[in-house]
Amino acid sequence: MPDRIRKTWGADLTSGDVAHFRLWAPDEHAVRLVLDGTSHAMHALDGGWFEVSAQARAGDSYCFELSDGTRVADPASRAQAEGASGPSVLVDHSAYEWKAASWRGRPWEEAIVLELHVGCFTPEGTFRAAAKRLPHLAEAGITAIEIMPVAEFQGERGWGYDGVLPYAPHHAYGAPDDLKALVDAAHGLGMMVLLDVVYNHFGPEGNDLTRYAGRFFNRNRPTPWGASIAFEEPAVRRFFIENALYWLSDFRFDGLRLDATDQIRDTSEPHFLAALAREVKESFADRRVHLVIEDADRRRNLVRRNDDGTVALFTAGWNDDFHHGLHVVATGEKRGFYRAFAKRPWQATREAMTDGFASIGTTKRISADQPEGRVPPQARVSFLQNHDQVGNRAFGDRLVTLAKNDELRVMAALLMLSPQIPLLFMGEEYGECQPFLFFADYQGDLGEAVRRGRQEEAENFGGMPSGKTADDLPDPLDPRTFAASKLRWERAESAAGREHLAFTRRLADIRQRHIAPLMTNCNLPSFEVYPTRDGIVAIDWSFGGPMLELRANFSAGRLSVPTVHGEPVFGIEVLDGSELSGPGIVAAVRHN
């Protein structure tokens, strides 16, 4: 990390042949560094810290030895030689030679995001292999990729949300320089790269912090995955803030997506989330860096804007309401998370597209007449699919296998041409049919618990298909389940895949030429939702002069819609006066 960024955790090369090592171990009275087999006593400091400097070079392996002789990896390890339970490896982050060295990012309004899992994106499942596929995404009009978590977790395969060493790229994907090469290649193609990070819990296996730093956790404040992290502790707070700065600096990521921020509990002032966002903003004032959140509490204040339209804390939040409303429309599913949307899915969809938050089935909606109530459309990331909405289904089926093709095209256009930031899930750009399943690499009782939990999780995402039982579910621990989740790139080369890709590219082009400029020039557009029957979406957004008009008919017939006054920029079916055949959609821009 640059010198201006304060570092308190981990090991850093301070010169060509000297490294400095630090560990917070408040439960220990003595700690030793074991560096390439040689033991060094560490100096005890106030507050539970231990440190030592020693001759070392990049590639040397090391670990810490506790007072009872237990050896543990560095919790801030930058790389692992043999997985989460093996020794840590010293990394020289200054050695990589960046090709796109002048890259400073892109405006968020230009973002068309594609979420990908490194292990499933290519047959090889590595950072380097992913980099070779990036031209395909650029051709599709993708301007940003969001990489599912890569932090070291136990085992060889997994989604990444059970990481235990948050600073170390997972060994199965490649070395730190391989990840930098992926980011570098994306920048060379004009694409931003965001990294999904998990700051709400550690994985259930391979985390040794409880052995020597019990205060890292608050066991009286549980999360769905175990004890809450104690962000009130200054050392803990720095661990995660420095982690965010590390990814953004040493790897030059353009942003982060923070997982399940509703489970980040903190009684400090300022709250950890605010402190992190502000330090990121101060540290990278010369770059466009974007922070995105997942937040089940749907807190508008986290994605609010300052009076001048600049981001106050976080750039945007995931808009599950948009997904849930349209998913009910497309599939008729009414179980689990969809139950609250089943009665009024059209109302939920319209609200999610305009207000950014549906009032259906929640009491956590802030009134729009409150100062913090309105957020601009680019503060919400909408999607038809993502890793959760596909992978937590019983059989990992994608929307292309659940919805009618003509309806799906209208939904895709609705996603891409409304002002909110669109996100696609890998393969969606060419109509991938291969499932994306939940997979992990656990053994024993933990593995059995994972197996038992799949049916319960599936109930939240549409439930079990008719005629299927828990015995039919794919085994999440079977390597074949992981293999079955990989993209089938031959689909992209098929006639159907090429046609789907061309459609995605057309939508992306229209968005960049006509929609993104509207958001760039207006801090907070007003909108009008026309009262229409179910099956019709008719919305106007006014951007301080120019207006975006969107009309969609999801029915199979010809229906009346509010009149469009602007110049059409896209259409599936022709708008004849005030009638639109369906399924169809028309987008128009009116310049006053």
Bridge partner residues of 425 (DSSP): 115
Of 257, 80, 258, 255, nearest to 168 by C-alpha is 80
| Catalytic residue status for 259 | yes
Q: Which helix (H) or strand (E) holds 209?
A: helix 209-212
> What contacts 14, CB < 8 A, 6 or more positions away?
20, 53
Q: Which amino acid is at 170?
A: H
Q: Classify residue 465 by its DSSP letter.
A: P
Neighbours of 410 (CB within 10 A): 23
- Alpha-carbon torsion, ordered 187, 192, 195, 196, to 10 deg: -160
* CB distance 360 to 347 below 8 Å: yes
Diameter of the chain measured on Cα atoms: 82
Q: Classify residue 86 by its DSSP letter.
A: S
Q: Classify residue 435 by its DSSP letter.
A: -
Determine the Cα–Cα distance for residues 537 and 350; give it in Å rounded to an integer.
7
How do the residues of the chain divide into helix, strand and coil, expressed in percent and rounded to 5?
30, 25, 45
3-state SS assignment for residue 11: strand
Which one of 65, 110, 177, 259 is the catalytic residue?
A: 259
Which one of 294, 407, 432, 549 is the catalytic residue?
A: 294
Question: What is the SS3 string spanning 395-425?
Answer: CCCCHHHCCCHHHHHHHHHHHHHCCCEEEEE
- Alpha-carbon torsion, ordered 174, 179, 184, 189, to 10 deg: 80
Q: Two tokens at 180?
A: 């930098």
| Catalytic residue status for 162 | no
Q: Vertex 152, ends 146 and 158: CA angle to 5°?
A: 70
Residues carrying an active site annotation: 259, 294
